[in-house]
Amino acid sequence: MKSIVIVEDETAIRENYIDVLTRQGYQVKGYANRTEAMAGFEQSLPDLALIDIGLEDEIDGGFQLCQTLRAKSPTLPIVFLTARDSDFDTVCGLRMGADDYLTKDISLPHLMARIAALFRRSEAQGQQTDDSDVIDRGLLSVDKGKMHVHWDSHAIDLTVTEFWMLHALVRRPGVVKSRQALMEEAHVVVDDNTITSHIKRIRKKFIAVDSNFDHISTVYGMGYRWQEPK
Amino acid sequence: MRNSLRAKTLLICSFLLLLPWLGYRYIWEMEKVLRVGQERNLLGTAQALATALHERPTLFSSQPQTGTNTQRDLYAYRLPAPITLDGEFDDWLGFEQHIKTYGRHYVQFSRYPYRQEDYAFRHMLGRHGDHLYALFDVTDNTLITRRSASSRLDRSDHLVIAMTTPEGRLQHYAIAGQETGPVQTYAVDGEISDTAALSPISYIQGYWRNHQHGYSLELQLPMDHIGDMLGFSWSNVNDSFNRDIDTVIATASIKTATSLGQLIAPSEEIDRILKAMTHSQAHLKVIDNQRRVLAKTGQLNPQQSLWSNSLNTSDNVVSRLLAPLYEWLFPLPKLDTTPESTDDAKILGLHVTQALAGQPYVRWRKSEDDKDVIILSAAHPVYVDGKVVGVVIAEETNLGIQTLKVEALKGLFSLSSAIILLGITTLLLFASHISNRIRRLRDNTERAIDTQGRVQEKITIDQRQDEIGDLSRGLATMMDRLDGYHQYLEQMSSRLAHELRTPVAVVRSSLENLAFCETEPANMPYITRAQEGINRLNTILSLMTEATRIEQSLEQVDREQYRLDELLDGCTHGYSLAYPDTQFNVVLPEQHLHVMGSPDHLVQCLDKIVSNAIDFHVANTPIDIRLVVLGESAVQITIANQGPLLPAEMEDQLFNSMVSLRKKGKESEHKAKQEKPHLGLGLYIARLIVQFHKGEITLANRSDRQGVVVTITLPLIAA
């Protein structure tokens, strides 16, 4: 049974999440602040951590917690679940090694899907590849089952949101995906501008391994599409 | 002219002009005081002299007190030098005005009707030292001289001198007509016709000179032989055969001592006393109670005035330059001649009358030469035994005061001009300085806030520690607070969204938990509806933070150069696909137009505007999208739709956050439910993006009043 820790200072939300995740068959522990959470982590590490950024009187307590956890385990999936949705916080959180950054307006089914996906990815890391879920587009290969992306055999480390967006583009190359459509694919409710910055981040991650990468193109007024390499 | 500070200051400055007026008033008052002082002073001088003369009966007793018939009296003028006895008038120059003509009114006897043209004489008396001098100028066309054989004097033209001796006895002398030359005087002791009564004397000398219309005679008489009374009688004989006297003209009847006229001669004694006063500045006269001048000294000469001497008139370049102006502005009265035309034999005037009545009196009178010069006369009575026997008159002009006044006026003029000039200049400079500072502050304040009420730039703080400095500091503080408040308002939506997110999450997770647990199917629709509501609320919260997000991302984004025509082309294709029901009229130029900025954001901006245009456009009308090049450096995108007009006053405000013209009710009627809620942030975000591109965005009604047009002006860069 997978164990999940929720660090959330808002009791109602914490209890709701614990209830729903318990119902899904996870073993769930909830902590209200960083001190309690640290004490808990000292005893045992969970399989996944769901962390709020603002914890009681510590406005950046979640970030510290994330750093400590990442130091303890480089592979432990960490998800920020927070009310803070500024670009700055998102970038910060992801840089600290979180695997996903979700805002609290996400619905519970979406949250559970994310958690399931993350578990799937961490499980897949040690196992043999199941070819059935792999999409190959030239140099690109996207493994939906493991949520792995490779470009010219370089692993591209995407967050879950970014992965679903890329997946949506790659699945039907040449077809323009509107921002709304991308939002739905990634199961997030954000504004257009957030989509734009996600796309930018995805591009940057590809360009980091291949400076000539230009396969995600903007179609002005409509959205984005995956351009097949010529 | 606007009521600027400067004009007001000038007005206030004009009060400075009161200064010279005040000064003039002051000088005027001073002049009054000085006049009173001069009156006192002069009366004091008169009194001092009178004091010296009081109770000295001898000085006045020699003058008969009884006489009232001044016609007979003879006045001896003080002569500056002894007369040369030659029958010429040149010694008497300067006294011509005192020569009195004896004619019709002085005729004692006339055998025929008297004609003044035929016979009259002019006469005056003078005194020098111990001698009395008499001048006669007789008009007579027939000179009948004494026959050389005859010893009678009365059978020719002759003069009879009648006088009282110092002892009071009546004494006659006679001089007969003769040819030019020294005369022989005879004392007449009895009848003149009695030759035995005639005895030649030598103490009365004279000179006879004949001239074309008559003859003249100069006489020298010793004062010690003459008493108080004196008279001259000229007899005219026209017929050299019978030698009868035809006409007798006399200064007085010479028959008795009392019928003679009084001899009034300036008193030597008084003169000596008066001499002691010559160093006074005043013109002094002593007159007797018959108003006859007994003695006088001094002159009404302003040049020797103590007043003008006491003034140290500065002599420098400025005063020399100003001198002509001053002379024109403040003319000093000219008084060249001594204004002394009154007859010494008779001093008239109220002051004398008053003094004779025992009342010291001062009067001012205008000079006949110059009306600006006023002569001050002070009269003081002289008492002997409680009776007024004479009057001391002191006279002075006000020229000294005038000089003082003019000098004071000059000083006042110079000083007040300087003060006024300096004052006005200083005040004007000060006012200009103040108004410049205020104007700067005003301009600064006007620039500080744009038409949308956003703080554009800080107010430059005036560091000076005065009210304007305080004002600028106050305004700067106000601007800071306004800026803070504005930022607070603009961040309000994102803060609110942030704050709402947690409770929304509580409700949402609770609802979803409920949905999982709920077994009663009848409750499901309510849960579903609540979840829908929560979803919409979520969308609203996302939108609320969008503007802030855009601002943040614009801060981080790098500007890049991109082709605007290409971008717009792509966008319009996209719009045609996205809104298949709407027709777009697109006009794009051929050339490549490069702009600097963020293409992604500009697309967002265009999306918002086009979406707005579509929301408001009338169905089946096209949306016009144009790209127009404005000269070399700017490009304009216009997006126009047909539809409802903007309310006039809203045009600028629509770019502010949370301002929307959409009608909630109408929207929910026929637009799809799942469409995004509107928060009035679209145009606000569009403006943020256009400002990031250093451009301008305006929203206006179309010139044909058919709808609304959005105009975006962006700066072009050279490709």
Residue B67 is predicted with a pLDDT of 47
Cα end-to-end span (Å), chain B: 52
Asked whether residue B672 carries a pLDDT value surpassing 50, the answer given is no
Per residue in A136-162, pLDDT tens?
888 888 888 777 888 888 888 888 888
The A140-143 sheet, strands edge to edge: A134-137, A140-143, A148-151, A154-156
Residue A3 forms contact with B (CB below 8 Å): no
Calculate how close chain B gets to A190, using CA atoms only, in Å: 6
- Structure confidence at residue B702 as a pLDDT band (50, 70, 90): confident
The answer to whether residue B693 scores a pLDDT higher than 60 is: yes
Whether B391 has a pLDDT exceeding 90, the answer reads: no
Name chain B contacts of A218, Cβ cutoff 8 Å. Answer: 599-600, 603
Q: What is the mean pLDDT of residues B669-690?
A: 67
Per-residue confidence (pLDDT) for residue A27, from 0 to 100: 92
Q: What percent of chain B has pLDDT over 70?
A: 87
Nearest by CB to A13, from B506, B567, B600: name it.
Answer: B506
Between A35 and B386, whose confidence is greater? A35
What are the pLDDT digits (tens) for A23-42?
888 999 999 988 989 999 88
- Among A211-215, B131-135, B209-213, the minimum mean pLDDT is found in A211-215
What's the pLDDT band for B372 if we cut at 50, 70, 90? low
**What pLDDT does residue A86 have?**
77
Give per-residue pLDDT as tens, B9-60: 888 888 888 888 888 898 889 888 988 888 888 888 888 888 888 877 767 7
User: Are B603 and A197 in contact (CB < 8 Å)?
Assistant: no
Per residue in B287-321, pLDDT tens? 877 777 777 776 665 555 555 555 555 567 777 77
pLDDT at B130 over 90: no
Over pLDDT 90: what percentage of chain B?
7
Instruction: Sort out which chain B residues have CB atoms less than 8 A from A83's CB and list them.
Output: 498, 501-502, 505
Sign of CA dihedral B140, B142, B146, B148: positive
Q: Would the CB atoms of B599 and A85 count as touching at under 8 Å?
A: no
Q: Check CB contact under 8 Å for B545 and A85.
A: yes
pLDDT value at residue B300: 67
Q: What is the pLDDT of residue B220?
A: 92
Per residue in A68-97, pLDDT (tens digit) is 898 888 888 999 988 887 778 888 888 888
Smallest CA–CA distance from A178 into chain B, residue:
B578
| Lowest mean pLDDT segment, chosen from B5-9, B224-228, B523-527 | B5-9
Closest residue, chain B, to A88 (C-alpha): B552
Q: What is the mean pLDDT of residues B563-578?
A: 85
C-alpha B599/C-alpha B693 separation (Å) is 10
CB contact under 8 A, B573 and A17: no
- pLDDT over 50 (residue B150): yes
Instruction: Decide if A219 and B543 are in contact by the 8 Å CB cutoff.
Output: no
3-class secondary-structure state, position B152: coil
Which residues is A150 bridged to in the sheet? A141, A155
B250-276 burial code (b ≥16 CB/10 A, e <16): bbbbbeebebbbbbbbbbeebeebbee
Q: What is the pLDDT of residue B669?
A: 41
The closest CB to that of A12, out of B506, B535, B603, belongs to: B506
CA distance B685 to chain A (A): 11
pLDDT digits 0-9 by tens, B425-476: 888 898 888 888 888 888 888 888 877 677 778 888 888 888 888 888 888 8
Which pLDDT belongs to residue A4? 92
Distance between CA atoms of residues B138 and B101, nearest Å: 10
Contacts of B614 (CB under 8 A, 6+ apart): B579, B582, B623, B641
Instruction: Select from A20, A88, A200 the Cβ nearest to the Cβ of B513.
Output: A20
Write out chain B residues lying below 8 Å of A12, CB-based: 506, 509-510
* Band of residue B407 on the pLDDT scale cut at 50, 70, 90: confident
> 């009948």: which residue's tokens?
B144
CA A188 to CA A181: how far, in whole Å? 10
Which residues, 6 or more positions from B116, have their beta carbon under 8 angstroms from its beta carbon?
B103, B104
Is A20's CB within 8 Å of B541's CB? no
Per-residue pLDDT at A173? 86
Looking at the complex, report in whole angstroms how far the Cα of residue B500 sits from the nearest Cα belonging to chain A. 9
Q: What is the dihedral of CA B163, B167, B169, B172, to 10 degrees?
A: -30
Mean pLDDT of B100-112: 87
B498, B499, B549, best to mutate vs chain A, most A CBs in 10 Å: B549
pLDDT band at A48 (very low <50, low <70, confident <90, very high): very high
Query: Is the pLDDT reported for residue B119 higher than 60?
Result: yes
A105 touching B (Cβ < 8 Å): yes
Helical segments of chain A, H only: 11-23, 34-43, 61-72, 87-95, 108-124, 160-171, 179-185, 192-209
